[in-house]
Amino acid sequence: MRRSRKVRCLSFMVGLALLAGCARAPMVPSTPPAPAAVTAEELVALLQERGAAIQTMKAQFSVETTGGTLKGPQRLEAALVYQRPGSIRLQTFTRIGIPFFDLLLADDFYQVKFPMNGKSQKGRVAELDRQIGSGAPITLGLQATLGNLSGFSISPTDHVALREEGGQYVLDVIPTGIGEAGARRLWVDRGTLEVNRQEFLGASGELTATVMFQDYRAVGSAAGRRLMRPYLVRAEHVRSQTVLVLTFREIVPNPELTPQDWGSLGPEPKAEQAAPKGDG
């Protein structure tokens, strides 16, 4: 009887020792599977597919502008209306709700009104960057919003090349058509395949502007796939040293749009209405 009790006690102590040994044994961390390698063509197709999933969009956000011709930081509130493939209305207001400018963009033409001074101007988007004063900030704002919405505007005729650098994919996009915009470089997260940064290059390969996309969040779904959008965008124009920080509060994908969403500027600026210089 005593022997049986000793055996049971010894077995119990051995069991505790084994458990203690297991508790001290280091746990081997599970290694997440490495993301599958992609080709440049596959990555371009994915970006285009994501862009096509958002046909329309409304958003509200704040814009903080520094540098350029500004004497100090300027903060505006903004409302965005977007319709694929490239129609966009961007309204900005002062912090107390006074309209600052109302911009409509479509078919590579723009119209913009400045209600505070009663002025307006219209023309081609390519000319907007050369406008004195507001041109660079507005162009930079378009690159920060429209560029991400349109699948990063990669044309079938563009030459694309993919490489890895600093733990990210880097996609070089080089236009081949005459008179097209300069080359661009997209920095893509290897895990999510979301674009973190877009760089715009000049004719000589110099950096002209940078747009960084951060804080991606799910905003809805389409065809069984989550729609992700960046809620923080930082853009910098090298020549004017203008910096924009866009902080989104609300993003609504694929809403039904009405003529009221486009306002008094009309649904789209027409080519025959465009002029190379402002009319005010």
Of the listed ranges 44-48, 131-135, 156-160, 253-257, the least confidently predicted one is 131-135
**CATH class belonging to 40-254:** mainly beta
**Residue 3 in this model has a pLDDT that exceeds 50:** no
Comparing 197 with 95, the larger pLDDT belongs to: 197
Q: Is the pLDDT of residue 11 over 50?
A: no
Question: Do 122 and 135 meet the contact criterion of CB atoms below 8 Å apart?
Answer: no
Backbone CA torsion sign across 48, 187, 124, 137? positive
Of the pLDDT bands very low, low, confident and very high (cuts 50, 70, 90), residue 10 is very low
Least confident span in 35-49, 123-137, 150-164, 250-264:
123-137
Q: Which amino acid is at 236?
A: E
Sign of CA dihedral 16, 19, 23, 26: positive
**pLDDT tier at 149 (50, 70, 90 boundaries)?**
confident
- CB neighbours (10 Å) of residue 32? 7
Q: Tell me what pLDDT residue 110 has.
A: 86
Are the C-beta atoms of 148 and 213 separated by less than 8 Å? Answer: yes
What's residue 14's pLDDT? 34
Position 132 pLDDT exceeds 60 = no
State the burial class of residue 268 (Cβ atoms within 10 Å of its Cβ: 0-12, 13-18, 19+): middle
H or E stretch including 226?
strand 225-237
**Cα–Cα dist 134/128, whole Å:** 9
Q: What is the CA radius of gyration of the chain?
A: 27
Evaluate if residue 142 carries a pLDDT over 90.
Answer: no
Neighbouring CB atoms inside 10 A of 190's CB total 14
The overall longest dimension of the chain from CA atoms, in Å, is 109
- pLDDT of 70 > 80? The answer is no
Is the CB of residue 259 less than 8 Å from the CB of residue 177? no
Q: List the chain domain ranges.
A: 40-254
Whole-structure pTM value: 0.76
The answer to whether 210 and 176 have CB atoms below 8 angstroms apart is no
Per-residue 3-state assignment (H helix, E strand, C coil) for 179-221:
CCCCCEEEEEECCCCCEEEEEEECCCCCEEEEEEEEEEEEEEE
Structure-token pair, residue 110: 């723009």
Higher pLDDT, 142 or 122: 122
Handedness of CA 42, 53, 56, 230 (dihedral sign): negative
Please name the residues in contact with 1: beta carbons below 8 A apart, sequence gap of 6 or more.
none
Q: What is the pLDDT of residues 155-172, one digit of tens each?
A: 778 899 999 998 999 999
Q: Mean of the per-residue pLDDT values for the chain? A: 78
